[in-house]
Amino acid sequence: MDAERITEMEQRLNRAECAIGQMEQALEAYGRVQEDIAALDRYLGSEEWHADRADDEAERLPEGLARGVLGEDAIWDLLERNRDVLERMGGLSKNPA
């Protein structure tokens, strides 16, 4: 009997269970925002986006209104990050260990 090995393996099991639980929660949340990401992808560069941006430039939008979506970078960066995450997840499924 090797109590040290059993303790080490128990610690590994506990860390892995915790990490997998966190990943499952994160994947659920990530799945729920995919519709939002698709909507942002359609919005960026659309007629509506250009009209909203023109309204902003003409100062027709209310003061204090958040305008992050009217810049190209915020949505573009989010879309790129989403693609990167999807690629990483695909790579993990090919090589889980």
Could you tell me the residue ranges of all domains in the chain?
A: 1-32, 34-97
Is the per-residue pLDDT at 96 higher than 60? no
End-to-end CA distance of the chain: 27
Cα dist. 81→3, 4, 9, 93 in Å? 44, 42, 35, 18
Q: Answer yes or no: is pLDDT of 81 > 70.
A: yes
The reported pLDDT for the residue numbered 27 is 94
| Percentage of the chain exceeding pLDDT 90 | 89
pTM for the predicted model, two decimal places: 0.78
Is a pLDDT exceeding 70 seen at residue 44? yes
In the block, which residue shows the tokens 């989403």?
82
pLDDT for 91 equals 76
Residue 13 CA to residue 8 CA, distance in Å, equals 9
